[in-house]
Structure 1
């Protein structure tokens, strides 16, 4: 779909001076002709480069997890811009004015939806109102409700902890790229999506094998906030509770929340709390101190990718790292 807000190419005027009148018997210096020709060539070259850049399809993605997935699907068919930096919190990250402008110029905006990107939803909604194509991925992958706590009546946006729902997301994104982004090769997008889906299927099988090593009575999760509901449903875990009884890191637990969770942990015999690696684990440590129970703090990459070489630079790497950490934490705790 062509963005109606994309401005047209700038036209540079070539100002001509009065014609040079040569004096009979005198030759005109070669540089008098050479300079205008060079100017014309330069202007044509700049115009051509700018035109190619303006004509390149653009896909803008809000979160870095979705950004990695989208890049695997799009490949070289379009320019993919990811707004969220490594280690950022999707609930609280903000964007710059140039990033907001990139949303307005996009052929397609891919975002998580269900309220995840709390500080970025307004620019996305404004772009959609202006005619930019947008895709809220979480809304199309059979989302779950939280089911407990203050977010009980709210749909859970953290679908990526279930790789089978990510496979659904791949199909959604590929379909919208082909439909909305003019100039892409549909066959190439299809091949990329199929190859990436095969990797996700392989990941799902491996995760199931790893989690099968955890005794059923130990498949109980306590996390910093409600983020692993989809993983729990897919692989047979029970969510005992969360330090922050909410689906967002922007909430805070009360003393009674901590006391209730401590009682639930003690009753369930849980000895490991999984805290997001990109966030301080202070709240989880407070839980251990205030409750008087001995809990191990196990870091997970739950809501953001890392930079290259830091353990979770891609979605597939993140899920493998988390699976290994959960398996080790619950098998030994």
Structure 2
């Protein structure tokens, strides 16, 4: 083969390769875009739609959903989505305005919090809707059912494959609920008392028969701050309930819980949980299902101390 012919063949192969690559990119671009505000709901959406949609998850793993802010590029792409999935109930405080802008442009928005029986967090001076419904797998099943109806309206998603994926994930949630029920049954009733860094386990407490003694930050958001009186009142409640462990979210510093532990004249352990954000692979909470099982084990272990 002459040098000229060899160059021609190489050029032809390059054109074919570029054409193939271009087709693949076009095929990817033709998929519907589903934008999700939190990584917990993002995990659920990804497991249901698989590769049939381009899923853009705004919140990175390990982030605090209360304080996370979307970039200008992400906000712009949000307004081009076929569907936006948000938690709602005041959770995504730094993203809500971008979701509202997308909705005003005509983008369909699914608010997961509207699919559940909403509880309120309460403190001595305030209250509000609790956005942390995912701590109850039964409520997450209701969310998945409602999400499925929305996904069926997204052009480009195949109904049969979507139904099979939804059914499989419902089975996973049912198994999770059964495992959590069995694990918590090992705790005597007088040990089912929870103290957290803010009000995050209200739905879990409601579903599995726990008492929420209080929170270091007496609010449903991490952006609030406790007063000295709040800390004193909670310290007294912890002593009265004989709580052995305070649970803090892994995305938040444990400083406030440590300050509280210093005020309580008894030994109180501080245990970090991934409650509002997933972790990287291998860190114990890479998926919603893994996070819930890991937290269940940690809660049982933490509340069994001294029991």
Fold in common (TM above 0.5): yes
RMSD: 2.3
Query: Do residues 176 (structure 1) and 145 (structure 2) align?
Result: no
User: For the residues of structure 2 that align with 1:295 and 1:213, how far apart are their CA atoms?
Assistant: 21
Q: Deviations over 1:225-277 (max 9, x none)?
A: 00000000000000000000000001111100000000111111112111112
Look up the SS of the partner of 1:280 in the other structure. Answer: coil
CA drift of 1:64 comes to 0.4
Contact residue 73 and residue 193 of structure 1 kept, 8 A: yes
Structure 1 unaligned segments of length 5 or more: list them. 1-36
CA drift of 1:76 comes to 2.2
Contact residue 38 and residue 58 of structure 2 kept, 8 A: yes
Query: Do residues 66 (structure 1) and 66 (structure 2) align?
Result: no
TM-score, normalised to structure 2, is 0.91
Structure having the higher Rg? 1
Contact residue 195 and residue 247 of structure 2 kept, 8 A: yes
Contact residue 213 and residue 241 of structure 2 kept, 8 A: yes
CA drift of 1:331 comes to 1.3
Contact residue 149 and residue 246 of structure 1 kept, 8 A: no
> How many residues are paired up?
298
Q: Deviations over 1:83-103 (max 9, x none)?
A: 111110000011112211220
Partner of residue 84 from structure 1, selected from 59, 65, 85: 59
Contact residue 137 and residue 169 of structure 1 kept, 8 A: yes
In structure 2, the residue matched to 1:288 is 261
CA drift of 1:80 comes to 0.8
Partner of residue 136 from structure 1, selected from 111, 114, 117: 111
User: For the residues of structure 1 that align with 2:260 and 2:297, how far apart are their CA atoms?
Assistant: 24
Contact residue 122 and residue 219 of structure 2 kept, 8 A: no
CA drift of 1:43 comes to 10
Structure 1 pair 42–307 and aligned structure 2 pair: CA distance change class (3 A): closer
Equivalences for residues 1-333 of structure 1 within 5 A = 51-152=26-127, 154-179=128-153, 181-333=154-306
User: For the residues of structure 1 that align with 2:141 and 2:305, how far apart are their CA atoms?
Assistant: 31
User: For the residues of structure 2 that align with 1:248 and 1:74, how far apart are their CA atoms?
Assistant: 30
TM-score, normalised to structure 1, is 0.84
Structure 2 unaligned segments of length 5 or more: list them. 1-11
User: For the residues of structure 2 that align with 1:303 and 1:130, how far apart are their CA atoms?
Assistant: 29
User: For the residues of structure 1 that align with 2:172 and 2:198, how far apart are their CA atoms?
Assistant: 28
Q: Which stretch has the larger CA shift, 85-94 or 265-274? A: 265-274
Look up the SS of the partner of 1:80 in the other structure. Answer: strand
Structure 1 pair 236–188 and aligned structure 2 pair: CA distance change class (3 A): same
User: For the residues of structure 2 that align with 1:47 and 1:190, how far apart are their CA atoms?
Assistant: 31
User: For the residues of structure 2 that align with 1:211 and 1:182, how far apart are their CA atoms?
Assistant: 42
Structure 1 pair 265–54 and aligned structure 2 pair: CA distance change class (3 A): same
User: For the residues of structure 2 that align with 1:188 and 1:52, how far apart are their CA atoms?
Assistant: 18
